[in-house]
Chain A
Amino acid sequence: MDATALLDRYERMNVIRRTEKAAHDLFLRGLVKGTTHLAAGQEAIAVGASAALRPDDYVFATYRGHHHALARGATPEECLAELMSRATGLCKAKGGSMHLTKAATGMLGSYAIVGSHLPMAVGAAWSARLRGTEQLAVAFFGDGATNIGAFHESLNLAAVWKLPVLFVCENNLYMEYTPIADVTAVPRPAADRAPAHGIPGEVVDGNDVEAVEEAVGRLARRARAGDGPAVLEAETYRHFGHSRADPAAYRPAEEVERWLKHDPLDLARGRLTELGVDEETVAGADERARDVVERAVEAAKAAPPPDPREALTDVWADGGAAWRT
């Protein structure tokens, strides 16, 4: 990857990291209610994969999906307004942190029932093939989703019809609070299971944005060519606990330290230096990212709350919610 491309990926990851930090700060100040599941530390997967996709490809994500929404075209302002329950939120403040969706740019949703979206991605890939569009569907999911039935049903269904779908596992070592290794019989919960369904399973350093982009691009070309689905297991680490309520005290200190040293932003910055990009240029990207997010925070804070009448809209296609005549 050349320096210009990498600087672009770096800046995108930086925007996501800063948006996550803003969400965290706003929560502590009482401006974000409910909970958030931050993806800080996992930015390289969203940014690398998105860079390898076509604008009209479909993406399905999980409740830990801020990074995917941002990588797929949602703005920090829309996302933060959604978290802050503002009328200008991405989903009109009806979705919240766990349901960031921007259908217009192919970000077809963040689903908070673990693994539920994998079959949806299979269906979207089926639809793309029926319509002859060569679009790809990508399901991002956590390691915890690999032990639910829908994971296996989806891999089999996608394989049996050779559908253009990629299953990208963000293995951050913990399913909620429990190490995935404690509850799973194989070391690579996604990649090791793929061959049992007739699908190639690869492992990639999920904190290396270049490696993720290369792998997703290669598997995407293969799927578009009609060679069927693939599983990509991206090894990564979340900087925070499972959710706001979780200080993640169960994680060994040396493990945390090891992974924080393997931060995707630091890795990209180091690689930029290797490519001869000067510090000033990198600092410029940092500054642009900071400005975008600071302005987003202020705009979201200034936005109005939703009209209470909105509560009774958007159930049906006619815009209403009536269930009887």
Chain B
Amino acid sequence: MADVITYRDAVAEGIAREMRRDASVVCLGEDIAAAGGVFKTTTGLLEEFGADRVWDTPISEQAIVGAAMGAAMTGMRPVAEIMFSDFLACCWDYLANEIPKVRYMTGGQVTVPLVVRTANGGGLGFGAQHSQATENWALTVPGLKIAAPATPADVTGMLAAAIRSEDPVVFFEHKGLLATKGPPPPPGHVVELGRAAIVREGADVTLVALASTVPLALKAAGVLAGEGIEAEVVDLRCLVPLDAATVLASLGKTSRLVTVEENPYQGGWGATVVSVVADAGFALLDAPVRRVAGECVPLPFADTLEQQVIPTVDKVVTEVRRLAAY
């Protein structure tokens, strides 16, 4: 394998590894087969595994996720793609009412081991209906696991864990990260769901980030280091299970918290992280918490407008400076 791999290629690599390992892993979605996915995240799967296991579907989001559910209930491990995360709304019944509830309401009789993959987030000028960061939608639903990797190796390792999981996982691949490169995943790489990573150590402030906001937080930390502020950056990797222990341990070192999330402030996951900290770690704090999040507006088209709305390095740096001075 090459010295580096793109986030985009790490998706196909992660799926292919599991399909080779386990014949019950199958894929379905719009344009995923011959076209290799509109984001080229399923390139090569049709050629290697054939049309029975890599199924091009019509534009039928309810049927895609509903069929994945039925297949998962009967012995398969489907990986369904919903092209843009905005389109999860078209099959929301399955994500809110069917998949996460069936084990519970059948008293544990039925298992739904499936993965719903989707391209999430803004920054590419796709406009209001193809740019949202929607991981907070899934966070409102008990019974869904939520993964959102930030690096190519994590993409492959977390896909392995998600596909092997007996629980349903919504897997958010960030569009803005698809072309980024990183060290390739080692053979057999598995990143357990619910384990956050400290991706930069620091003693002055904890930045909690996810997916696209991880490189953003790291850049902000670089700027802040030049001013003598050392930020510790936590990549949450998953929202459910939420690795609160790692966040609290980091606060034990830094005593200051900033969450950096792309979804809107209103109802965003940062609020949940902050409430857990207020509940379980209030005594660790020496300053108010801050949340850098998306504005509560639909994503605008023009670059200059979009940058006004979603988190940027400057916004993170500004918040941290205010907090450092507290």
**Interfacial residues, chain A to chain B (CB-CB below 8 A):** 58, 60, 89-96, 99, 101-104, 108-109, 111, 113, 116-128, 130-131, 137, 149-150, 153-154, 156-157, 160-161, 313-317, 319, 321-325
Contact = CB atoms under 8 A, between A and B. Distances in A.
Q: A interface, by DSSP: helix, strand, loop or mixed?
A: mixed
Interface size classification for chain B: 35 or more
A128 B62 CA distance: 20
Contacts of A117: 66, 98
B66 A99 contact: no
A113 B245 contact: no
B75 interface: yes
A322 B143 CA distance: 10
A149 B70 contact: no
A179 B113 CA distance: 39
Contact of B72 (A121, A123, A323, A324): A123
Contact of B74 (A94, A119, A128, A150): A128
A116 B71 CA distance: 15
Contacts of B57: 157
A-B interface, 8 closest residue pairs, ranked by CB to CB distance from nearest? A119-B66, A123-B70, A317-B166, A92-B107, A123-B67, A120-B70, A153-B63, A153-B60
Contacts of B72: 123
B71 A99 contact: no
A127 B143 contact: no
A126 B241 contact: no
Given A130-B26, A130-B76, A116 B93 contact: yes
Given A116-B97, A122-B63, A127-B74, A325 B244 contact: yes
A119 B65 contact: yes
Contact of B94 (A89, A90, A93, A116): A116
Nearest to A129: B52
A10 B153 CA distance: 61
14 contacts: A99-B106, A118-B66, A120-B98, A123-B69, A127-B71, A130-B26, A153-B58, A154-B66, A156-B58, A157-B58, A157-B63, A317-B103, A324-B244, A325-B246
B142 interface: yes
Contact of A137 (B70, B103, B107): B70
